[in-house]
């Protein structure tokens, strides 16, 4: 286990972005609206270079039957499943609005259904959704088609329906197997239920099964989390996503039900992270980066080895550069050098579509400086290094002159053992991986300018 000093803990126990994008979503502005987004879609349709970019789809299903106290996602708690029928009708209309501008039959190589709980939809609802997507887009053979699954909402029979519909990747929300932790976050799901579903997914031929875990939840200790780690190693999913819990009760109302005194401290969270790294790598997983692990033959681990790893709004991705169309309430997209986000409430989302308008309420057109810094931050987050020469050739800059103030800050980090600086570039050390978000923050011009980090989760 890597020893993290108390001084480093104090220095980096600060809020910071996860960098699923740069600039981060809090920098989106309302001045960016439907017209800007339509222009980006049309440029994709008309431009030969943009046309060659892979296309990814994200569909947000906001509904959940019960509330998990830790959740920071955009969700609607309801047991009225008929609300999903109305939502699907509006999704169909939003898809039509997209294809009117980007063209029918665009080839899609990645599809992800997130939420909320996508498996809130009935089997017929899922069939309807996939049919409408296939009418408007061309789903490429051999693409990655994934769906987030709450184990409490599916059976073996339902998994068979997902396979029949073309999904080849599943992500099970586990968070923690400890019953006391599950009670504290209002999410009870026996370990055996998850083990049975994963075994069924394998027998049905799914290409990849992911398990989501969260450390830093109430009543967790390094020792209790060790037991969960051992169970996950026994379960042996193809991928593991390990997230730090972000306690932001002022922003996310459900988190106010969590007892702050039951939350583990920063040193306990670092211990959980360190033990997780050791446990998963000892079990044969490749440490893909920050919060992702994969078995060596999984596509994510292969992409890491081949330098094709990228980071997008769903985390690490196998596609190094792709456009992303976000569909549904609050969905975020990236087309060309723009980001966009849909309306966050159902009423507003429905109102836009009733007016025949795309429901984009904010976004951002990236500057050249944004693009340069995004390339640096993503290289750090994905490969753990930035090589000066390729970056200088790609962006026609003198790296050390362009980033002179940033290099000064990195020298301090080098003295602390977090990065290595050489004539060739910047490399994140094994110690530095604990604080890689902090390393990336050095290159965040917006963050360095205002220092207002309270809206982010803590790095540790």
Output the known binding site for S-adenosyl-L-methionine.
Answer: 58, 70-72, 115-117, 148, 175, 187, 212, 246, 332
The shares of helix, strand and coil residues in the chain, as percent rounded to the nearest 5, are 45, 20, 35
Residue 387 backbone zone (phi > 0: left; psi -120 to 50: alpha; other: beta): beta
> Does residue 70 contact residue 217 with C-beta atoms inside 8 Å?
yes
Sign of the CA dihedral 126, 153, 333, 303?
negative
- What 3-state DSSP class applies to 433? helix
Instruction: Tell the residue number behind the tokens 């008929």, with chain if given.
Output: 82
Phi, psi of 258 (to 5 degrees): -85, 135
> Does residue 432 contact residue 383 with C-beta atoms inside 8 Å?
no
Binding annotation: 58, 64, 68, 70-72, 115-117, 148, 175, 187, 212, 246, 332
Binding annotation for [4Fe-4S] cluster: 64, 68, 71
- Cα separation, 30 vs 415, in Å, equals 42
Helix (H) or strand (E) holding 60: strand 55-61
- Cα separation, 362 vs 355, in Å, equals 17
- Cα separation, 455 vs 17, in Å, equals 9
**CA 460 to chain CA centroid, nearest Å:** 17
**CA 103 to chain CA centroid, nearest Å:** 27
């Amino acid at each position: 286990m890597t020893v993290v000093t108390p001084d480093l803990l104090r220095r980096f126990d600060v809020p910071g972005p996860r960098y699923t994008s740069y600039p981060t979503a809090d920098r989106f502005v309302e001045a960016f609206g439907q017209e800007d987004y339509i222009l980006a879609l049309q440029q994709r349709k008309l431009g030969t270079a943009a046309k060659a970019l892979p296309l990814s789809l994200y569909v947000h299903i906001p509904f959940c039957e019960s509330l998990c106290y830790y959740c920071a996602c955009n969700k609607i708690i309801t047991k009225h499943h008929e609300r999903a029928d109305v939502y699907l009708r509006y999704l169909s209309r939003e898809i039509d609005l997209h294809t009117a501008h980007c063209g029918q039959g665009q080839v899609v190589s990645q599809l992800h259904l997130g939420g909320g709980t996508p498996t809130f939809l009935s089997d017929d609802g899922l069939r309807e959704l996939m049919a409408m997507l296939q009418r408007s887009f061309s789903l490429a053979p051999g693409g990655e088609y994934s769906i987030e699954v709450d184990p409490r909402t599916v059976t073996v029979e339902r998994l068979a329906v997902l396979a029949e519909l073309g999904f080849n990747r599943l992500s099970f929300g586990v968070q923690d197997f400890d019953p006391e932790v599950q009670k504290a976050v209002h999410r009870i799901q026996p370990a055996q239920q998850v083990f049975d579903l994963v075994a069924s997914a394998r027998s049905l031929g799914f290409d990849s099964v992911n398990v989501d875990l969260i450390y830093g939840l109430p009543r967790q200790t390094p020792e209790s989390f060790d037991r969960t780690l051992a169970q996950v190693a026994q379960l042996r999913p193809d991928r593991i996503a390990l997230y730090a819990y972000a306690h932001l009760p002022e922003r996310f109302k459900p988190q106010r039900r969590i007892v702050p005194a039951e939350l583990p401290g920063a040193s306990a969270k670092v211990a959980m992270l360190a033990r997780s790294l050791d446990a998963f790598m000892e079990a044969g997983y490749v440490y893909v980066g920050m919060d992702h692990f994969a078995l060596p033959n999984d596509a994510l681990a292969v992409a890491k080895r081949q330098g094709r790893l990228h980071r997008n709004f769903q985390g690490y991705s196998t596609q190094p550069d792709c456009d992303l169309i976000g569909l549904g309430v609050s969905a975020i997209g990236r087309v060309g050098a723009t980001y966009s986000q849909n309306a966050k409430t159902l009423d507003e989302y429905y109102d836009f579509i009733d007016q025949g308008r795309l429901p984009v309420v904010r976004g951002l057109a990236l500057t050249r400086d944004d693009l340069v810094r995004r390339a640096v931050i993503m290289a750090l987050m994905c490969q753990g290094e930035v090589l000066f020469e390729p970056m200088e050739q790609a962006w026609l800059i003198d790296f050390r002159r362009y980033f002179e103030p940033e290099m000064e800050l990195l020298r301090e980090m080098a003295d602390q053992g977090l990065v290595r600086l050489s004539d060739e570039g910047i490399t994140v050390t094994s110690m530095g991986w604990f604080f890689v978000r902090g390393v990336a923050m050095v290159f965040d011009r917006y963050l360095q300018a205002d220092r207002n980090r309270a809206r982010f989760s803590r790095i540790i």
